[in-house]
Structure 1
């Protein structure tokens, strides 16, 4: 068991008030010590921070939010055990989840139990309301991200048909957008010339990149987290590859830069959520919270913002539940969110009884002089 001591040590075990008033309980599934912990840790910190900030402002209708979160180390069986605990013992009204494999494994149980679930997974499968009526996506799905990247490639490539490789890991997360990306590429006239599998914890990707080099792709789309992405970029630099690498959202962010070093220069990333250094209206709340804790905005990453936004979206749905804090009531509240303005922290979000997709829009950023610089507005396909 990897959770209690780790979570307490990291300060993200719970985010509840000492108030004696009624509380609304939310469960949290975190990857702190598992293979996606590089991005999972700041994301979990952002969720906890938003709930703490909300409680400091009085909560919701005088009720405090109790966020009961534990590290499950990216283990599906552990996630399933925690889910049962949250449902039966803690009696949570909603859950903030994490990984694709566990979110997809839980979605039928979530539907039966009627527990709204906002995950850090943006799997296309979660958009199917017949299978996932209580799942909500807080950002563009991985497939929509890949489609937008392919459309950008199609619109901006010079000289013939663009050739694209796909690099991903052998998990439900890694493979999530691959079939949809291939289908969309064929539809718009982009050629997928190669696919390579690189483990999430890989420290070497030379053999895969040498195989990819034989197909001479103009672009390579990466669906990884920071660690594997850095490995790919560093080995590509050593091999002198001229391929333009473009990462989906979990490959993108400040945490990539210190481990990739100079190899990150020119890398393009999908931006689903704002960087802390962007001057945006939604950043004011985060800055206020951090200053109250003696912390600075520049010490946080985009993934912190991403977790903050996920918790904020859940809370906005709870506010619209008209006092019905059951799973059914919160689902109905979330479905009332129409063009929710996040102050630029993410694309505006819309849910309805017909769609829980939220948005299909992303931005793109390029690493220039060791910093991600956003160069598009929110775009779709």
Structure 2
């Protein structure tokens, strides 16, 4: 077991202890305290112990760390932000239960969510309750403001990521018309971009020759890969998290399959390399939606400052931590903007308006800059591609849109 894995397991255990403590906090009054400081509670839905806990744990740590750092560095004048969350173990009924508690007991004014299934299941409640919801799901469905008026996407949608990959393939493939297979799990998350990817492939002249469904927690995928191999695709696009992605790469190596595998954002990150080793991971490509700790971007400085105070270093975190930190950063920017719209209680409606006021919001390189408006809650179509070389992810492209 690698050092990073051991650190990750310990961090997950400590995070669960922290979540248990959070559940006992007194509910927020949601308004102005006696000293004139206005309190805003941000709720959190985490997957620590469920099917996507491999990436969900560091993401939740990053979300929480941002608010801890914000408080330690003075926060926003006249505003106290409380962040309270709980592990729902990737179970939609549990997510609904926790959401209702965050709304009713804790008086949350905004929510940091997680999965596609629960985010889509909750979007009507979120709209009725007028609570801005920033999820770790980048489902294309959440772009529909009629269905999702309080949901905000803070990175390129899964569909836009898939389109970007296809655009890159079309522009860079040599030797005839490229062929593509799709590997995904049978969840709302796994299925989310598949039809859009197929539609865009047909639009630009790429043939999708095969689809294989592989469980999100799969430890074996040889049968699916052997079926895929019969179609001999040049490329295979993966919509999974670390565990199943590692299974695919390992078994493809065992079977001597020479297809170029390219993952969407949850199929990228250090965890894939940690599981399969750098020899198997070498040459694997994926969407890099957010920065890695070792990249030289201005936004890393705040994270380093936080880690220094915690007695940690950048080696103790990964890209998914930065992804969670980035989501919290955007929610906090919306709260700060909302605070300027009123002298009284900062409500969910005002936070929505605050988020909608963000234009080309500077992420300091942690992710693509985002812009929202009353007519558009999809913050960006920009994403980038990377490749594993010598045990480390390297940027292959700058941020770009498939429309460019």
Matches within 5 A, 1:31-110: 31-110=47-126
* 2:397 corresponds to which of 355, 363, 376: 376
- Residues 198-254 of structure 1: CA distance to partner in whole angstroms, max 9, x if unpaired? 001100000000000000000000000000000000000000011000000000000
Establish whether residue 123 from structure 1 lines up as the match of residue 133 from structure 2. no
Normalised by the size of structure 2, how large is the TM-score?
0.90
Take 2:106 and 2:17, find their aligned partners in 1: how far apart are those partners? 22
* 1:199 corresponds to which of 215, 240, 244: 215
Take 1:319 and 1:12, find their aligned partners in 2: how far apart are those partners? 25
State the partner residue of 1:353. Answer: 374
Q: Would the aligned equivalents of 1:7 and 1:70 in 2 still touch at CA under 8 Å?
A: no
Take 2:14 and 2:337, find their aligned partners in 1: how far apart are those partners? 31
The 3-state SS of whatever aligns with 1:45 is helix
State the partner residue of 1:147. Answer: 163
Establish whether residue 184 from structure 1 lines up as the match of residue 205 from structure 2. no
State the partner residue of 2:283. Answer: 266
Consecutive unaligned residues of structure 2, counting only runs of 5 or more, are 1-11, 26-32
Please, what is the CA RMSD of the aligned residues?
A: 1.7
Take 1:137 and 1:113, find their aligned partners in 2: how far apart are those partners? 19
Consecutive unaligned residues of structure 1, counting only runs of 5 or more, are none
Q: Would the aligned equivalents of 1:6 and 1:71 in 2 still touch at CA under 8 Å?
A: no
- Residues 257-314 of structure 1: CA distance to partner in whole angstroms, max 9, x if unpaired? 1111122111001011000000110100000010011110121100000000000000
State the partner residue of 2:252. Answer: 236
- Residues 112-150 of structure 1: CA distance to partner in whole angstroms, max 9, x if unpaired? 110000000000000000000000001000000000000
Take 1:226 and 1:83, find their aligned partners in 2: how far apart are those partners? 26
Deviation at 1:10, TM superposition (A): 4.8
Deviation at 1:160, TM superposition (A): 1.1
Q: Would the aligned equivalents of 2:291 and 2:366 in 1 still touch at CA under 8 Å?
A: yes
* 1:318 corresponds to which of 329, 335, 338: 335
Deviation at 1:11, TM superposition (A): 3.6
Q: What count of residue pairs does the alignment treat as equivalent?
A: 376
Deviation at 1:164, TM superposition (A): 0.1
Establish whether residue 295 from structure 1 lines up as the match of residue 316 from structure 2. no
The 3-state SS of whatever aligns with 1:64 is strand
Change (3 A) 1:345 1:8: closer
Runs of 4+ with deviation above 4 angstroms: 5-10, 12-16, 19-22
Q: Would the aligned equivalents of 2:15 and 2:61 in 1 still touch at CA under 8 Å?
A: no
Take 1:91 and 1:224, find their aligned partners in 2: how far apart are those partners? 34
Deviation at 1:105, TM superposition (A): 0.1
Q: Would the aligned equivalents of 1:7 and 1:71 in 2 still touch at CA under 8 Å?
A: no
State the partner residue of 1:343. Answer: 364
Deviation at 1:8, TM superposition (A): 5.4
Q: Would the aligned equivalents of 1:30 and 1:44 in 2 still touch at CA under 8 Å?
A: yes
Normalised by the size of structure 1, how large is the TM-score?
0.96
